[in-house]
Chain A
Amino acid sequence: MPTSALQVARTGLEAQDSRMRVIANNLANVGTTGFKKDRANFATLAYQDARVAGQRSSGETAYATGLNLGTGVAVQSTSQIVTQGALNTTGNALDLALDGDGYFQVELPGGQLGYTRAGNFTRSGEGQLVTQQGYIVQPAITVPEGASSISVSPDGIVSAMVAGDTEPAELGQLQVASFANPGGLRAIGDNFLVETAASGAAQLGAGGELGRGNIRQGMLEASNVNIVEELVDMIECQRAYEINSKMVSSVDEMLRNANQTL
């Protein structure tokens, strides 16, 4: 078919376009706390006009070679690259970072549980530990009014000096969620991820326990986007787009030539 080379080249353009969008999103989130970059995975599209090698060509003979024409490429999936981001010291007692695997668990509006690596928490009007959006960290930790010197241990125990007491009081323990396949979590925006069938169910535990990361107080995890890497990917993607667009003009030229000469 004369148009099919055009269609194949089109799939290439579309796939590169999607990949560029992934790269753009990574670059845009270079300053987002706890952001994990995505990688676009390509896969070949189905093969067509098939004749499988070894297929019978007659009663006694078989074809020695196959005839498979590829129909192009598609971005099959994006996978989250869950490498650790750099830890930046902020000095703020309620800024928490995870040094290792795991996620903080937060109750989203509507009761669904969300998971995040961004530990830039604050206190709500009622004294509860909440995210920037005001969503309550699960299990809920309430810091009483007038409490000072809040400290969070690596395994998540939150304690503070409550007015009138001489000893620090334990306010509760933060839990760290881990997943069988963290790459399968679905990003819903606002730094939140939700569990899916692919990620498996959340397993909660204390920080530093069973391979979970330690909680680091007074620090925030920076985005794991490496700008230089993304820029190189961007150029590579642009060039791949260019050669595919050259294919479109080449086939167009062929068809024009056929139209004019014939």
Chain B
Amino acid sequence: MDRLIYTALSGMNASMERQRVIASNMANAQTVGFRAELIDQRPVTIDGETLNVRAMQRAEVRGATMTAGEMVRTGQELDLFIQGDAMMAVQAMDGSEAYTRRADLSISPTGALVNGEGRPVLGDAGPITVPLGARATIAPDGVVSVTDPAAPDQPPVEVGRIKLAGWQGSPISKGLDGLFRVEGGGILPADAEAQVITGALEQSNVKPTEVLVEMIDAQRLFDMRSKLIATARDCDQSGAQLMRLG
């Protein structure tokens, strides 16, 4: 019998994988600053003398959709919405510089400025720290200044500037921690033009209707592929019957 069933099976596997990616995007429809994963499906053909009909399906997550999410006002002083394409530099678990759009900032008990995932925010000169008890405010250009409540008449003191980096021109990809990094290592240069809006957060860029349509699409394709296996079985049966007659 033809190996049609294996080709169809690879398609079914790819559909299932795609459904899983869609499920993950759907589940993260409310994660602040989330970037939806893109799945890529491609045929894998084996070159040879035979007729090239057996193109196996292979599905992979190839990157993330980089469109901006909706902005929502939260009124919290340390919530930031990054305008344009820029990304905020944070320190990843391994100490390296990584990028994220998630900017729901807070001050840790040690005075470090961290985002909602607890990653320290990087400035021009490493992680930004705020003296304990001081009140931090962030300007539209990312400059963090603090005022000492003990000296309210003193002007605010600048403690650093959040590194906002443009990624256009440098390939970046999402790592296993959900943070973006420059492919093959390296860091992005700071973008002096980048601006933030305080008191607002960026929603996930997953669009519920889009993701539902994708889900139905993946489901139907899976059904069609399983039907192929059923058809192959029917063909096989008729073949076997023909043999018996002879």
Contacts and interface: CB of A to CB of B under 8 A. Distances in A.
A42 B28 contact: yes
Contacts of B26: 9, 12, 243-244, 247
Contacts, number: 185
Contact of A76 (B22, B62, B117): B117
Given A8-B20, A211-B149, A254-B219, A52 B176 contact: yes
A151 interface: no
Contacts of B23: 5-6, 8-9, 12, 72, 244, 247, 251
B60 A67 contact: yes
Contact of A198 (B61, B74, B108, B218): B108
Interface in B152-210: 152, 173-178, 183-185, 208
Contact of B216 (A46, A52, A250): A250
A180 B113 CA distance: 12
Interface stretch (A58-66, A140-148, A163-171): A58-66
Given A47-B178, A52-B176, A71 B109 contact: no
Contacts of B135: 211
Contact of A240 (B16, B30, B185): B30
Given A180-B109, A200-B132, A261-B226, A47 B215 contact: no
Contacts of A200: 109, 132
A2 B222 CA distance: 12
B125 interface: no
Nearest to B230: A261
B176 A258 contact: no
Interface in B1-45: 12, 15-17, 19-32, 34, 37, 40
Contact of B15 (A19, A64, A71, A254): A254
Interface in B60-86: 60-63, 74-76
Contact of A43 (B116, B184, B230): B116
A15 interface: yes
B29 A240 contact: yes
B211 interface: yes
Contacts of A239: 208
A184 interface: yes
A83 interface: yes
Q: How large is the interface on A (under 10, 10 to 19, 20 to 34, 35 or more residues)?
A: 35 or more
A70 B177 CA distance: 10
Contacts of B29: 12, 240, 243
Interface in A206-225: 210-212
A221 B109 CA distance: 27
Interface in B121-139: 132-133, 135
Contacts of B25: 70
A183 interface: yes
B229 interface: yes
Contacts of A5: 16, 19-20, 22-23
A236 interface: yes
A66 B174 contact: yes
Contacts of A180: 107, 109, 111, 132-133
A73 B31 contact: yes
A128 interface: no
Given A42-B32, A71-B24, A73-B28, A254 B173 contact: no
Contacts of A15: 27, 30
A64 B19 contact: no
Contacts of A198: 108-109
B178 A262 contact: no
A68 B109 contact: no
26 contacts: A1-B16, A2-B16, A4-B20, A5-B20, A8-B20, A12-B26, A12-B28, A15-B27, A39-B74, A41-B116, A43-B116, A50-B176, A52-B175, A53-B183, A67-B61, A79-B106, A81-B76, A180-B107, A180-B132, A240-B30, A243-B212, A247-B22, A251-B219, A254-B15, A261-B223, A261-B227
Interface of A: 1-2, 4-6, 8-9, 11-12, 15-16, 19, 39, 41-44, 46-47, 50, 52-54, 62, 64-73, 76-77, 79, 81, 83, 178, 180-181, 183-184, 197-200, 203, 210-212, 236-237, 239-240, 243-244, 246-247, 250-251, 253-254, 257-258, 261-262
* Shortest beta-carbon contacts, A-B, top 6: A211-B149, A12-B27, A70-B24, A8-B23, A5-B20, A73-B27
